[in-house]
Chain A
Amino acid sequence: MLISLRAALLAAVALLAPFVVGQELPPQLTQQVADLFAGNGSVSSGATVAGIGATGGRHTNNWAVLVCASRYWFNYRHMANTLAMYRTIKRLGIPDSNIILMLADDVACNARNAFPATVYANAGRQMDLYGDGIEVDYRGYEVTVESFLRLLTGRHPDHLPPSKRLLTDASSNVFIYMTGHGGNEFLKFQDNEEVSAFDIADAIEQMWEKRSVRADVGIGVCFGTVCVGTVCVGAVCVALPALPVLPALPALPALPLLPALLDVAPVSMRGVASPDSYPHRPTPSVPLSHFAFRTPLAALMLYPHNADVPSRFNKLLYVVDTCQANTMFSKFYSPNIISTGSSSLGENSYSHHHDLDIGVAVIDSFTHYILEYLETLGKSSKATLKDFFNTYDPARIQSHPGISTELSHTPRRRFSSPTSSAEWPPPSQNVLAASQGSRAAVPFSEFVHPTS
């Protein structure tokens, strides 16, 4: 028998929620409605959950997370991919303070680099990507699956400097670019550990869910919980009434408890967000902590409290360049995400070309052609993501890039295969236009410079 404070809290709230909400609005919600009418600009939880498409005016800032997950000199091209992307988005207007750059190794000052403090992404060595004003936020051994997931979900130790945090809010558009060696539904970090597509999908879901985890209330009991690695499956959870709601206990009919339990039972719970359950980290003693529950269901149950903590993004663009890259975003289930990757299941992503003086391949094919297009854009460009996706040419890229926009609309549209560009039905309008109201959907200005 296992006792999990948080699970209990969630379950307890879930049980109580229908009664509380049914009778009167919780005080916070009332306050928010008041704020809304008073023009405070505070975002009500109802708007964030239901009105995904109607959030046009809320986009105020852009953030980028650029991840090179590969170590070692011969993976020069992954560093170059990332740095080229860094340079481009900086050029298009995201300030350094809003870019989290993760480089798993340092090729610029590597002893094998014949051109110290420089990184080039083309054979002619025309442009030094490292430049003289670079800020690398996570470097070398700091680039781990744990630090990446913590970065996304915002769970950090108190003393972590702001430069290493993704300080986004519900009005931020976030661009995530990842490159490295990968495979079907995983990406290797430092040739030592992997992040799975499920991990990233769950982390992004957590960014979307606007929940605060409060461990200060409630006691619960869970039976038959099994954890393997980071994945936990809970069989039955019973919430013991939490302390603050004890007075309400007599009012609780016994019967509704049962359906609540049935709801809980089949949910598969993944502990991605649990700071205690990351793999490859020594866990200080308490084995029970692996059984802490943080579930999609939990978010639902916390609904009345959600308004406190806003979502960590408004829209999210996910770009990944690795082998079988399209599998990396195939597990996403949160709204407002557009994803694209370099190659479909079973396909490799190849490097584009190498430089004889540097001695290694300098850039990957997919990233090369992305950048080729993005370099034609300026800050005031009106080009859309559709224009951008239309430049994909599987023959030149030597793999089939995938695009997934099915999560970017409400109501959701379904496409037969979101991961193959060949089957990508050209949308009748800008992919983002529907959610943009009067604003034209501008892909990289959307993700690159503030709309103020």
Chain B
Amino acid sequence: MRILLLASLVPALAAALSTSNSFHEALTLHPLPDGKLSVLFEFTTYFASASTGSSLRQSHHYLTPPSLLLPLEHNNISELTVSFVAGQWDQRRSGEAGPLHYESGGGGGEVRGWLRSNGDKAESDRAWTAVTHALGGLFCAGLGPSDEGDIVRSFGDIYPPHRGSPSNLTHYLLPHPFLHLCTENLTPFLSLLPSKGLSGLSSLLAQPGTVFSWGFKSEGIEVIMPDETSPGRWRGWWEGVVDLVPERGGSRAFSLERIFGRGIPRPFPEAETSVLRLMVSEGMSMEPEAPKREGKWIDGRYREVAEWDLLEPGMQGRDVRFWWDGERDFVHPRTLRPPSISVLRTVTAPHASDGTFTIRFSNAGSESRRAVYSEVWPWWVKGWISEISLRVDGSDESRDDLLDSMSYHPSTPPTPSTTSLHLFLTLPAQSTLVVSIPFTKLTLKYTEHRPDAERGVEIPSGILNLLDTIGEPESVSSDVPLGVENARQTARRRIYTNRLLLDVPTPDFSMPYNVIIMSSTVMAVFFGLMQGALTRKWGWVELPKGEGRGKQGEDEPKAGVSVVEGGAQLAGSSS
């Protein structure tokens, strides 16, 4: 599988070698069945290794941002991905397992990467911390670990390196599920691009008021650093989901002008390629007609892709319009075809102290699939591994046979740390596998809560890593009919669940003094009573005649024990 991935990358890299520094941009429009449109910007830069380039060390930075690459180079990074996701990708309604860009992470922010290590763990950790903090400064977001324990190290198999062998690389993952995406993250993203949001496709993106009104948003970069033999690549993507149906109903017809408020922008002169793509859906027409239409395997389906070259003279300033023939009013389909594999994670039995993660893996395909499901929890989520249960939807029978094995890295409370859990699953065909993981929430100290503790705390997305995908073949025999499906012919290896917001059991934040005082009082009362009991002498007291209480017996000692201070009137011996 890893070989396959490499194989798919090699032609691209080889092509890039000829022109060692090049910049490519693409805008892909993907109509979704529920009346929405996924809009994906991709900006790819290939750059030569600094050592094999010209004598001028900085020369390779004319297309690449030194503020991004220098910290990576300095800290021995081999590959690095930063991803921000805001909003939710609805797998059921969109009919796709995730956004069009496969490297988009789960909810919130996330940094992951491979570091060239020389075996010195402390040095690698330091480099990783330094690079994440540097990127956090770059992206206006706290991307660095707030504590060393936040770093997850057991996800190397989930994100195999594009290049090099895992034996001399170390994988790091830092999930920040609470992060979101706003203008201050888009601004640095644009400034990293050679076109700076001024020309080319990036100028369409440089409209925060427009792009942040979209439903789902995903921004990210993926950098593969050059080595001795091959050039580096850095790719930035921005994806959003636009609702095409007007508020009061109507047709889905749209155009670049309607989405972005302007037509095809002025080309960026350094761009090698600049293309607009449309994943044609049934009954779609466009104006001007695309000069190039071809079939492609994309995410398990053979689809028709229309392509415009925006660098062609005469394109600048033109609008491109799209419509569905004969559609007056878009009618939302009653049934939507689900993606071949979808994952839904919810918390059931949600109490402030306990709960159960219920993860539903739906396999709509006709063959069973093999996959690893991975979770990352903060230290205060204590999963009960012995109580994990599996069943297939529709029956109460336990199907523990579908869990091949698991790998469990528990956290070490109360120090900040993470638990990671990998479940090796078989997803049976045409059915929904339901995995339940009961968990308990440990009580956080009053100082460990967030300022808005009552809101809850986000838990990173779960990741389903498919083990049996075969990639998206480049060359296809021409007799494949459009729309044919093969769930395994996809390069999407990872499917993310949504992040979750968990309630945490909160103490009363105004109570510290009261609690300290009251608890100490109880303790003091106890101590006082004990001290009193131990320092007093106990004994039988003989009461003088006539001084007894009322009419009590006159000539027998008082039956009972009374306390005598200081041993006065001591009669019996202490016992």
User: Chain A interface (Cβ within 8 Å of chain B)?
Assistant: 71-72, 104, 106, 108-109, 115-118, 128, 130-137, 139-142, 158-164, 189-193, 280-282
Contact = CB atoms under 8 A, between A and B. Distances in A.
Contacts of A159: 126, 129-130, 133-134, 144
B518 to A, nearest CB: 20
- A interface, by DSSP: helix, strand, loop or mixed? loop
Please classify how large the interface on chain B is, using the bins under 10, 10 to 19, 20 to 34, 35 or more: 35 or more
Nearest to A132: B208
A191 B451 CA distance: 7
A128 B180 CA distance: 20
Q: Which of B137, B181, B451 gathers the greatest number of chain A CB atoms within 10 Å?
A: B451
A133 B129 CA distance: 27
Which of A104, A132, A159 counts the most B-chain CB atoms under 10 A from its CB? A159
Given A164-B137, A191-B451, 4 more contacts: A135-B140, A140-B178, A161-B138, A193-B451
Nearest to A104: B451
B141 A116 contact: no
A161 B136 contact: yes
B142 A132 contact: no
A23 B178 CA distance: 61
A433 B213 CA distance: 49
B138 A106 contact: no
B452 A117 contact: no
Query: Which 6 pairs across A and B sit closest by C-beta, in order of nearness?
Result: A161-B137, A190-B451, A117-B212, A192-B451, A109-B182, A117-B208
B348 interface: no
A15 to B, nearest CB: 39
Nearest to A113: B212
Interface in B129-156: 129-130, 133-134, 136-138, 140-142, 144
B134 A141 contact: no
A139 B208 contact: no
Contact of A117 (B133, B142, B183, B451): B183
Contacts of A118: 208-209
A304 B138 CA distance: 39
B451 A134 contact: no
B450 interface: yes
A273 B207 CA distance: 42
B140 A141 contact: no
Given A117-B208, A139-B142, A159-B134, A280 B447 contact: yes
B208 A141 contact: no
B343 interface: no
B124 to A, nearest CB: 14
A132 B180 CA distance: 17
Nearest to B135: A161
Contacts of B207: 132
Given A118-B209, A135-B140, A161-B138, A141 B447 contact: no
A383 to B, nearest CB: 31
A71 B453 CA distance: 12
Nearest to B145: A159
A137 B140 contact: yes
Contacts of B86: 109
Interface of B: 86, 126, 129-130, 133-134, 136-138, 140-142, 144, 178, 180-184, 186-188, 206-209, 211-213, 447-448, 450-452, 509
A135 B182 CA distance: 10
A133 B208 CA distance: 9
B451 A106 contact: no
Contacts of B447: 280-282
A29 to B, nearest CB: 37
B184 A136 contact: yes
B539 to A, nearest CB: 46
B133 A130 contact: no
A9 B137 CA distance: 36
B141 A139 contact: yes
B142 A142 contact: yes
A132 to B, nearest CB: 5
Contact of B451 (A141, A163, A281): A141
B183 A132 contact: yes
Nearest to B182: A109
B111 to A, nearest CB: 14
B180 A109 contact: yes
A141 B182 contact: no
Which of A117, A190, A191 is most buried by chain B, counting CB atoms within 10 A of its CB? A117
A189 B452 CA distance: 12
Contacts of A192: 451, 509
A224 B339 CA distance: 71
A130 B213 CA distance: 14
B554 to A, nearest CB: 62
Contacts of B126: 159
Given A117-B209, A117-B213, A71 B452 contact: yes
21 contacts: A106-B180, A117-B182, A117-B211, A117-B212, A128-B209, A131-B208, A132-B209, A135-B184, A135-B188, A139-B142, A141-B451, A158-B130, A159-B133, A159-B134, A159-B144, A161-B136, A163-B137, A163-B140, A190-B452, A193-B451, A282-B448
Nearest to A192: B451
B212 A132 contact: no
Contacts of A106: 180, 182
B140 A108 contact: no
A382 to B, nearest CB: 33
Contacts of B212: 108-109, 116-117
Nearest to A190: B451
Contacts of A137: 137, 140
Contacts of B181: 109
Which of B129, B208, B509 has the most chain A CB atoms closer than 10 A to its own CB? B208
Contact of A116 (B136, B209, B450): B209
B134 A133 contact: no
A160 B136 CA distance: 9
Nearest to B452: A71
A130 B212 CA distance: 12
B137 A131 contact: no
A280 to B, nearest CB: 5
A134 B142 CA distance: 16
Q: Which of B129, B209, B213 has the most CB of A within 10 A?
A: B209
A116 B184 contact: no
Contacts of A71: 451-452
Nearest to B130: A159
A321 B225 CA distance: 48
B108 to A, nearest CB: 12
Nearest to A114: B213
A163 B206 CA distance: 22
A145 to B, nearest CB: 11
A448 B140 CA distance: 23
Nearest to A107: B182
A141 B450 contact: yes
Nearest to B211: A117
A408 to B, nearest CB: 33
Contacts of A134: 183-184, 187
B450 A132 contact: no
B239 to A, nearest CB: 16
Contacts of A140: 142, 178
B459 to A, nearest CB: 16
Contacts of B144: 159
Contact of A162 (B137, B182, B450): B137
A130 B180 CA distance: 16
B125 to A, nearest CB: 11
A116 to B, nearest CB: 4
A115 B213 CA distance: 8
A163 B187 CA distance: 14
A132 B211 CA distance: 11
B181 to A, nearest CB: 7
A128 B141 CA distance: 22
